[in-house]
């Protein structure tokens, strides 16, 4: 099996390293659009910019030529898209324009398309409809996974979701090995929405911790945030029980409490009084919760779902509320029955 990973960021590098450790290294290719980045990866034998101090396996193919990166894939092979959600549509356009035959497309991005509030699989369906020459099987790989720990070979568990059972089985063969367990699901909506909403909730958790609101407050926030996630997933057509698994509760716990979480760091910095633009500039990486927060609440409004925590995060990010005012808004809500 050949595997090509598109995206030389932290997560793309980590998944390529993991795959190369458990397959013949020459069967795994990592592509980045910047030829200078590929040159640096070859010289340094590590990704000093995004995943420093984790060596690249000997034999891992490094490529900046897009056609060559796609050229090693056959119909039974896997193309992994490891770009941020904001770049999914563009990279799919390149893939589907240049593909010579069908192959399996696995995407790792978490979030919603900013201006349409489309889920990743809906973006892919839209792009496939415009390029009907080949029928590509596709699905998402998601779950509680910091790129650094995956790159270091530490244990983790992930979920692959697809409407095609054969695709899930293929991805399990490709990525389920000693350090990674891969579970299968047919709930694309639940898995993808969980990955989007948890990032917004992680910003809220970071704000709470940064303000010193305590562990009781964090537990309440995550529990009520999970309820918001479940309501939205059910309304959009997913399974609410998916939110209790790896891609919902599992990823929420990790992202809201782990010190490697970029979204949590955004919340901590906002609580310290920093300007959002300065926070994002200092971060140096994409914080998907910031990019998709408005889309999450837009989707909730479209389905008449109340999401007070996510809505408050949006108002803080948009400068309509201070972090202190956001806490007051949430704590001042009328008493309700727990649901």
As a whole number, mean pLDDT of residues 172-193 equals: 97
For residues 323 and 155, what is the distance between their CA atoms, to the nearest angstrom? 36
Domains of the chain (ranges; CATH) run: 3-186 (3.40.50.720), 189-331 (1.10.1040.10)
Residue 26: predicted pLDDT:
82
By percentage, how much of the chain surpasses pLDDT 70? Answer: 100
3-class SS letters over the chain: CCEEEECCCHHHHHHHHHHHHHCCHHHEEEECCCHHHHHHHHHHCEECCCEEEEECCCCCEEECCHHHHHHCCCCCCEEEECCCHHHHHHHHHHHHHHCCCCCEEEECCCCCCCCCCCCHHHHHHHHHHHCCCCCCCEEEEECCCCHHHHHCCCCEEEEEECCCHHHHHHHHHHHCECCEEEEEECCHHHHHHHHHHHHHHHHHHHHHHHCCCCHHHHHHHHHHHHHHHHHHHHHHCCCHHHHHCHHHHHHHHHHHHCCCCHHHHHHHHHHCCCCHHHHHHHHCCCCHHHHHHHHHHHHHHHCCCCCHHHHHHHHHHCCCCCHHHHHHHHHCCCCCCCC
Question: What mean pLDDT value characterizes the chain?
Answer: 96
141: left (phi over 0), alpha (psi -120 to 50) or beta: beta
Q: Which pLDDT band, with edges at 50, 70 and 90, does 60 fall under?
A: very high
Residue 141 near residue 158 (C-beta atoms within 8 A):
yes
Neighbouring C-beta atoms of residue 298, cutoff 10 Å: 16
- Per-residue pLDDT at 8 exceeds 90: yes
User: pTM of the full predicted structure?
Assistant: 0.95
Of 101-105, 147-151, 188-192, the least confident: 101-105
Q: How confident is the model at residue 286 (pLDDT cuts 50, 70, 90)?
A: confident
- Tell me the CA distances in angstroms from 160 to 59, 166, 214, one per residue in order: 27, 11, 35
Q: Rounded distance, CA 175 to CA 153, Å?
A: 12
Mean pLDDT to the nearest integer, 133-138: 87
Residue 132: its pLDDT value, please?
Answer: 83
For residue 133, pLDDT over 90 is answered with no
Phi, psi (degrees; rounded to nearest 5) at 198: -60, -30
- Burial class from Cβ neighbours inside 10 Å (0-12, 13-18, 19+) for residue 284 reads exposed
Is residue 285 very low, low, confident or very high in pLDDT (cuts 50, 70, 90)? confident
* pLDDT surpasses 80 at 134: no
φ and ψ of 178, to 5 deg = -50, -40
pLDDT for position 52 = 97
**pLDDT-derived band of residue 156, with 50, 70 and 90 as boundaries?**
very high
Residue 242 · residue 190 · CB < 8 Å: yes
Section 54-76 average pLDDT: 94
Query: Confidence band (pLDDT; 50, 70, 90) for 152?
Result: very high
Q: How confident is the model over 14-46, as pLDDT tens digits?
A: 999 999 999 886 899 999 999 999 999 999 999
The two beta strands, 156-161 and 138-142, are antiparallel
* C-alpha closest to that of 105 among 147, 133, 135: 135
- Which of 7-21, 23-37, 179-193, 200-214 bottoms out in mean pLDDT, i.e. has the lowest? 23-37
According to the model, what pLDDT value does residue 154 have? 98
Integer angstrom CA distances of residue 277 from 200, 274, 284, 312: 17, 9, 11, 18
Instruction: Examine the pLDDT at 236 and tell me if it is beyond 90.
Output: yes
* Residue positions annotated with a catalytic role: 198
pLDDT the model gives residue 28: 97
């Amino acid at each position: 099996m050949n595997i090509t990973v598109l995206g030389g960021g932290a997560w793309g590098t980590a998944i390529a390293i993991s795959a190369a450790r458990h397959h013949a290294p020459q069967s795994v290719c990592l592509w980045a659009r910047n030829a200078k980045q590929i040159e640096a990866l070859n010289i340094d034998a590590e990704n000093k910019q995004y995943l420093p101090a984790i060596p690249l396996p000997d034999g891992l193919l490094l490529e900046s030529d897009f056609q060559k990166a796609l050229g090693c894939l056959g119909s039974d092979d896997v193309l992994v898209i490891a770009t941020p959600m904001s770049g999914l549509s563009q990279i799919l356009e390149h893939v589907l324009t240049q593909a010579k035959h069908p192959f399996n497309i696995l995407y790792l991005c978490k979030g919603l398309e900013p201006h349409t509030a489309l889920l990743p699989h809906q973006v892919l369906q839209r792009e496939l409809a415009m390029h009907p020459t080949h029928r590509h099987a596709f699905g998402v790989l998601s779950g509680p996974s910091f790129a650094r720990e995956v790159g270091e070979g530490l244990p983790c568990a992930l979920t692959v979701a697809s409407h095609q059972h054969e695709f899930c089985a293929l991805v399990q063969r490709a990525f389920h090995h000693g350090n990674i367990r891969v579970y299968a699901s047919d709930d694309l909506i639940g898995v993808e929405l969980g990955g989007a909403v948890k990032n917004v909730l992680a910003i809220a958790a970071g704000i709470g911790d940064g303000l010193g609101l305590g562990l009781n407050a964090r537990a309440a926030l995550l529990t009520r945030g999970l309820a918001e996630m479940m309501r939205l997933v059910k309304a959009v057509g997913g399974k609410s029980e998916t939110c209790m698994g790896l891609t919902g509760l599992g990823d929420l716990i990790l992202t809201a409490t782990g010190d490697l979480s970029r979204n949590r760091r955004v919340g901590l910095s906002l609580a310290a009084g920093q300007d959002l633009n300065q926070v994002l500039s200092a971060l140096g990486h994409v914080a998907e919760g910031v990019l998709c927060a408005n889309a999450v609440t837009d989707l909730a409004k479209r389905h008449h779902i109340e999401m007070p925590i996510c809505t408050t995060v949006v108002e803080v990010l948009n400068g309509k509320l201070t972090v202190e005012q956001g806490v007051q808004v949430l704590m001042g809500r009328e008493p309700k029955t727990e649901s």
